[in-house]
A and B are shown apart, each in its own frame.
Chain A
Amino acid sequence: MPDHPAIAVDQLVKVYKTTRAVDGISFALEAGSITALLGGNGAGKTTTIAMILGLVTPTSGTARVLGAEMPRQRYQVLHQVNFESPYMDMPHRLSVRQNLNVFGRLYAVENLEDRILRLSAELDLSELLDRPVGKLSAGQKTRVALAKALINSPQVLLLDEPTASLDPDTADWVRGRLERFRKERGATVLLASHNMAEVERLCERVIIMKRGHIEDDDTPQRLLIRYGRETLEEVFLDVARGRGHAREAAQ
């Protein structure tokens, strides 16, 4: 076992001009864990993930991935990390196979042809391999994006709304694949989502952010008990509407 957490965030702050997007948050994710980052729009989830990935430089504090400080030491670990987000696309004119071929080479994946074939079989993409990505449906594109995120069998996988804009059946299918990958690879997964059912199903820990702060951090079960709620959605609404502490105190 490594002697450092897979992801360690310490007193992380990001200020954009006068806005404190992330305001002194700290947490550590153990290797092999799956954690949700919850919060309303503007809570600071995406900025936090971007700092963990090294896309954004923190104003102060540190974000470490597999022991490497981001973004300063990012090239020590980026080949073991990947990310999927509906806000990033893959080149539309390239076929699924071409896209996976390019990204596989960027990540120096060994036996790339085999990896592409195996991954496309697992993600039900075999029939689509030679179709341009731009001609695929939203659900198919999400599966391709997931294939790209898994191409290097990452030790650390970050996901931003992985099932946004998917129908319930496809979303459930994607969750199943993510669960399987995490178990088989022992990867650490950090998932930003608005879908509470997804979080309840997949995650063993939930970090709730609001206005750049961490408002709560616990297992889904303990959050439900502490807030006296039936679902995480109700907990989320309590936190978002500022009723969290009052309700917890009453409990």
Chain B
Amino acid sequence: MPAQRVRAMVLRYVYLLRSSWTRLLELIYWPAVQLFVWGFLQLYIAQNSGFFARASGVFIAAVLMWDMLFRGQLGFSISFLEEMWSRNLGNLMISPLRPLEFVCALMIMSLIRLAIGMLPVTLLAIAFFGFNLYSLGLALAAFFANLIFTGWAVGIVVAGVLLRNGMGAESLAWTLMFVLLPLVCVYYPVGVLPDWLQPIAWSLPPTYVFEGMRALLMEHAFRADLMLEALALNALYFGAAVAAFLALLESARRAGSLLQTGE
């Protein structure tokens, strides 16, 4: 039964994507723009700097992996927002669909949206810049798992805040991840940050992933220790995010905000 309800929700979002070519295009558009801007910048710098010539692909890998993190969260949050935009949340909340089944369906949709957006862009990276993300092999799977879990944790908290506070909190879905951008050291090593900021950076799982990515591309070393630490932090944050979501949902029931899902 739970699987049937999760499938029903996934089907609902697949119907929506199939009905809207603009939604599909949007999934590919921004990752592709990001790829070209950073890819050409890397080409230019590499021609003028020995260091960047050696660190071939680091910028492009960073861009692609940042997009996995950001689009993973956005895919989750937008699917949730679709229910609020269409004023359908009440129908779902009075149905037998349980909160964790809803979360599960949103995670699956996040993967589907990410696949639609990122697969073509990774192929563009090969065609235009000769950078093959898939050559990272099993390391890519470890990077991806850690990034997507962080993206989901943020998406789950944003969904809880939206339930509790309504559409007034919508901007969180688009902006919250950017608070992490300078802290998780996507384009530079953690050592660049001031000393006092480094513990904060190391408390965020994506920092380990981006450090691991640089170690792999520049030193050809896979840092399994970093991935395990990231995974432990992710387990902690994911559990906390689910607990926060359930608490915010109960708070929304007490405040009556499930009745009013507008501003």
* B103 CB-CB contact with A under 8 Å: no
* A107 CB-CB contact with B under 8 Å: yes
Q: Mark A86-108, 1 if CB is under 8 A from B, else 0.
A: 01111111110010011101111
Category for how many chain A residues contact B: 35 or more
Category for how many chain B residues contact A: 20 to 34
A85 to B261, CA, bound (A): 14
A78 to B94, CA, bound (A): 7
* A14 CB-CB contact with B under 8 Å: yes
CB < 8 Å: which of A88, A93, A148 contacts B87?
Answer: A88
CB < 8 Å: which of B8, B11, B259 contacts A56?
Answer: B259
Contact A106 to B259, CB < 8 A, known contacts A89-B88, A91-B82, A94-B15 = no
CB < 8 Å: which of A16, A56, A78, A83 contacts B258?
Answer: A56
Interface members, chain B 67-96 (any A CB < 8 Å): 82, 86-88, 90-96
Q: Of residues B11, B88, B258, which shows the largest number of chain A Cβ atoms within 10 Å of its Cβ?
A: B88
Q: Are A53 and B9 in contact (CB under 8 A)?
A: no
Count of CB-CB pairs between chains A and B under 8 Å = 99
By a CB distance below 8 angstroms, the chain B residues around A98 are 12, 15
* A39 CB-CB contact with B under 8 Å: no
* B182 CB-CB contact with A under 8 Å: no
Chain B residue with Cβ nearest A77: B96
* B54 CB-CB contact with A under 8 Å: no
CB proximity of B261 to chain A, nearest CB, Å: 9
CB < 8 Å: which of A21, A87, A108 contacts B1?
Answer: A108
CB < 8 Å: which of B15, B87, B97 contacts A106?
Answer: B97
* 18 A-B pairs (CB sep. < 8 Å): A16-B255, A16-B256, A47-B259, A50-B259, A55-B258, A56-B253, A57-B254, A87-B90, A89-B87, A90-B91, A93-B20, A94-B19, A98-B12, A102-B12, A106-B97, A107-B95, A107-B96, A108-B1
Q: Which residues of B contact A (CB under 8 A)?
A: 1, 4-5, 7-9, 11-12, 15-16, 19-20, 82, 86-88, 90-98, 250, 253-256, 258-259
Q: Which residues of A contact B (CB under 8 A)?
A: 14, 16, 21, 46-47, 50, 53-57, 71, 75, 78-79, 81-83, 85, 87-95, 98, 101-103, 105-108, 132, 148
